[in-house]
Amino acid sequence: MDTVPMFEGYQVGYDIPALPGMPESAIQTPCLVVDHDAFFRNLDVLRRFCASHQVRLRPHAKTHRSVDIALHQIQTGGACGVCCQKVSEAEVLAHGGVKDILVSNEVRDPLKLDRLARIPKLGTRIIVCADDPENVDELSEAAQHNGTTIEVLVEIDCGAGRCGATPGREAADLAALIARAPGLVFAGLQAYQGSAQHKKTFEERKSLLDSAVRMVSSTVTELEHRGLRCDIIGGGGTGTYPLEAASGVFNELQCGSYIFMDADYNRVLDPGGKPMGAFDNALFILTSVMSHVKNDRAIVDAGLKVQSVDSGMPVVSGRTDVEYLKCSDEHGVVADPACALKVGDKLRLIPGHCDPTCNVHDWYVVVRNGMVETLWPVSARGRSY
């Protein structure tokens, strides 16, 4: 070829891994591929679930860090808004047109507090969590300084042992403080049981969730005694959302991974001991065989720099004859006992853990019927500060 193909000012290869209209076989690997139809099926499955269970859906944008996907979730996926974890993510989402954002995390740094308090000036509702009385003063001061309003949830530790105030009286004291603070609105409770999501058996997840629900209920009772009402009682993830939905207490679900799924969530089992199966794998790392000198192993171009292996190695999609065994920074080793692969062959890998895998890529290449449909930028990639 004599000129390098371009797309909206981007050069294929140098800037972007693919062009719309390209067949999947021509995509520059390794890169992230989103299966268009599986993605929109997942969007629809959770939309219908939430509608039938009369809970709001506020999906977690920390999974995808993408304005395009957040807007799809709101416009066609039934979401009332999104969650994110960082002020920098909220800034990107708000600039991209998302109008209702919960930072489901604490914000303590002075400049970050100021940045957070500026977001409502973009016309975006901003909600944040607090677990400490000093933080209430900090948030109030930042809101007043900017002439804006910040809605605040009391985060309670309902079993994960990470952030969060003690449920019950301590949480209610904090809520009362927020309710009195100028520039702030007390908006409810953040009650995410993160350590339950990836437990493999339904019984383990249910036991942890039953305990979490009791903590949320006792806190709500304590708040009612003080005349404090919760607009939002939020939590739930892809591993437990049916339990929160059925609790009669939670009114917003915060699932993130449902939109993509990953190899670890594929191992989470339903009450009958089978993979949950409500959602399809919609996210893949597309990789190419780049060396095959040994007959029984192929070397592929996807290593540590295109994924996070904290939850295990990726799984080769749609094939049982080959297995991704291990990786170094830029290489993956694939067992190929029958020498079925040849150099240039492409494999779709289901990432072990979707959230931190998305965070090392700049683009989602959206593929439909074997052709590139469009590209979505991972617009808040790297926005961790």
- Interaction between residue 125 and its own copies (CB under 8 A): no
- Contacts with its own copies by CB under 8 A: the residue count is 73
How many Cβ atoms from other residues are within 10 Å of residue 7's Cβ? 17
Beta 371-377 vs 297-300: how paired, if at all? unpaired
State the minimum distance, in angstroms, from the CB of residue 54 to its own copies. Answer: 29
Near its own copies in 82-121, by CB under 8 A: 85-88, 91, 105-109, 111-112, 114-115, 118
Please state the φ and ψ torsions of residue 189, each to the nearest 5 degrees: -125, 140
- Interaction between residue 9 and its own copies (CB under 8 A): no
Residues 242-281 vs its own copies: string with x where CB under 8 A?
A: ----------------------------------------
CB-facing half-sphere around the CA of 187: CA atoms within 13 A: 25
- Sign of the torsion angle spanned by Cα atoms 306, 310, 311, 314: positive
Beta 184-190 vs 150-155: how paired, if at all? parallel
DSSP code for 28: P
- Interaction between residue 165 and its own copies (CB under 8 A): yes
State the minimum distance, in angstroms, from the CB of residue 343 to its own copies. Answer: 5
State the minimum distance, in angstroms, from the CB of residue 180 to its own copies. Answer: 21
Near its own copies in 326-345, by CB under 8 A: 328-331, 333, 343-344
Near its own copies in 278-317, by CB under 8 A: 288, 290-294, 297, 299, 301-302, 304-306, 308-310
Cβ proximity to its own copies: between 168 and 356 the closer is 356
Cβ proximity to its own copies: between 42 and 85 the closer is 85
What residue type is 113 in one-letter code?
Answer: L
| CA triple 43-47-48, angle to 5 deg | 120
- Interaction between residue 371 and its own copies (CB under 8 A): no
For residue 174, what are the CA distances in angstroms to 92, 160, 217?
A: 29, 20, 16
